[in-house]
Amino acid sequence: MHKVKDRVLVIGYGNPGRLDDGLGPALAAALEAEGIPGITVETRYQLSIEDAAAVAEHDCVIFADAARTGPEPFALERIAPAGPASFSSHAVKPEAILALAEGSFGSTTKGYVLAVRGYSFDAFGESLSEKARKNLDSAIRFMREKLQDGGWNP
């Protein structure tokens, strides 16, 4: 008997105009180019509350973002729904998106954060630093392996 595959959503977010902050969108672009069947890939500058609707339509979601600190080349962490929301309307944490999806749509979507380590954030520019590029390549290989066959097997 075949296991029913999870509906998987990958949201890569960040600002490609701010150097390594573009790691999330770059990862999303790479996965989208691979066209893995059954995987939905979205790109955002920043997370916002409407992402809760898309999250609720999937069984699991991977939020891919740049990390200013933390392990190299990347870290994968399971996250749970949590508030509160942020000080301004301009950034919402992945945990808050899960909480909104749960509170608004009864979602039980499993959430993960893929934190790809970056180094350069303090200027405008549309390129990744060399070290961040290497970390991205590692993260892409990891995601390709875990998303093969259209499922999510962390």
Partner 1 sequence: MTDGTRRIVIEPVTRIEGHGKVVILLDEKNRVRQARLHVVEFRGFERFIQGRPYWEIPVIVQRLCGICPVSHHLASAKAMDRIVGGEKLTPTAEKVRRLMHYGQIFQSHALHFFHLASPDLLFGFDADPAVRNVIGVAAKHPDLAVQAIMMRKYGQEIIGATAGKKIHGTGAIPGGVNKNLSVAERDALLKDLDKNIEWSRGALKIAKELTLSNLEKLAPFGAFDSNHLSLVREDGALDLYDGKIRAIDSAGKKILDQVDSQEYAEHIAEEVRSWSYMKFPFIKSLGPAAGWYRVGPLARMNTCDSIDTPEAEAARREFKGVTSGKTNNITMAYHWARMVELVHAIEKIRDLLNDRDLQGTDLVVKGPRREEGVGLLEAPRGTLFHHYRVDRNDQVVMANLIVSTTNNNEAMNRAVQKVAQDSIDGKPEITEGLLNSIEVAIRAYDPCLSCATHALGQMALIVELYDSKNRLVATRTR
Whichever of 65 and 151 has its CB closer to partner 1, that residue is 65
Cα Rg, the chain, nearest whole Å: 15
Q: Distance (Å, rounded) from C-alpha 88 to C-alpha 45?
A: 15
| Distance in Å from the first CA to the final CA of the chain | 22
In the complex, minimum distance from the CB of residue 78 to partner 1, in angstroms, rounded to a whole number? 15
Q: Distance (Å, rounded) from C-alpha 137 to C-alpha 7?
A: 24
In the complex, minimum distance from the CB of residue 129 to partner 1, in angstroms, rounded to a whole number? 13
In the complex, minimum distance from the CB of residue 53 to partner 1, in angstroms, rounded to a whole number? 5
Question: Do the Cβ atoms of 29 and 12 come closer than 8 Å?
Answer: yes
Whichever of 1 and 123 has its CB closer to partner 1, that residue is 123
Whichever of 82 and 130 has its CB closer to partner 1, that residue is 82
In the complex, minimum distance from the CB of residue 113 to partner 1, in angstroms, rounded to a whole number? 7
Whichever of 58 and 151 has its CB closer to partner 1, that residue is 58
Closest of 41, 49, 37 to residue 12, by C-alpha: 41
Question: Do the Cβ atoms of 116 and 139 come closer than 8 Å?
Answer: yes
Whichever of 20 and 151 has its CB closer to partner 1, that residue is 20
Q: Provide the binding-site residues for partner 1, judged by CB under 8 A.
A: 13-18, 20-21, 43-46, 48-50, 52-53, 65-70, 83-91, 96, 99-100, 103-105, 113, 115, 118, 121-125
In the complex, minimum distance from the CB of residue 3 to partner 1, in angstroms, rounded to a whole number? 31
**Phi-psi domain of 77 (left: phi exceeds 0; alpha: psi -120 through 50; beta: other):** beta
